[in-house]
Structure 1
């Protein structure tokens, strides 16, 4: 049975580099850094897990075992408005680290995943009728 072709051309090494560069930037970001620091205690292990997520999403490797929606919902301090800065920072890293076409393709995938996560957080944070939960 033939393997599923990747969504777009990127190497595992490029994925690792993007993830490492992104999280180095996150740790320095005034808004995102504290949110991540409250949850990530072992940065190298986190980066390995997230690189596996992206290799699964892009290259269809089977090394990722997790539930991003549940993790973001359970964190308790991730808000829908945080996704724009997250994606902006991620896009900046993609543009810096990859060829333009690859960066654009990965960005489109990241934005699609981000919309899904943001939607899940909004749904979890609202009552029927769209009324925000204040507690």
Structure 2
């Protein structure tokens, strides 16, 4: 099968590395990731496989992102706009515009799907009291 988006493996690796460098320093996302990622090189390699599967159709990733994000417990839907803004900035810096836009569109679709399966607020009691 031809790639969905014709990026190289080296481009994927650079985007993933730059993205996680920024995430680790981010005041909201950094602590969430730090609580779950013990080995950054292993995590980045796994996410690289995810993107190779999604972009290059390499069939080298067999994880379940929804299950992992849901099981984390502290990943919330409101994290995804922040995640995507950082990801978009990295894409714009690392790739030609047409590739950055195509990859961004896919990342936004994936982000929407993942965020729909997660808690939508930080509220402990999502049911409003009307009484």
Alignment TM-score, normalising by the size of structure 2: 0.91
1:120 is matched with which residue? 117
1:50 is matched with which residue? 47
Distance 2:110 2:77 in 1: 13
Query: What is the DSSP-based 3-state SS (H/G/I as helix, E as strand, rest coil) of the residue aligned with 1:121?
Result: coil
Alignment TM-score, normalising by the size of structure 1: 0.88
Identify which of 3, 7, 12 aligns with 1:10: 7
Alignment: residue pair count: 125
* Residues 1:40 and 2:37 are matched in the alignment: yes
2:80 is matched with which residue? 83
For the aligned residues, what is the CA RMSD? Answer: 1.7
State the 1:8 CA deviation.
1.5
1:108 is matched with which residue? 105
1:30 is matched with which residue? 27
Identify which of 123, 126, 130 aligns with 1:132: 126
State the 1:12 CA deviation.
0.6
2:64 is matched with which residue? 67
Gaps of 5+ in 1: 126-130
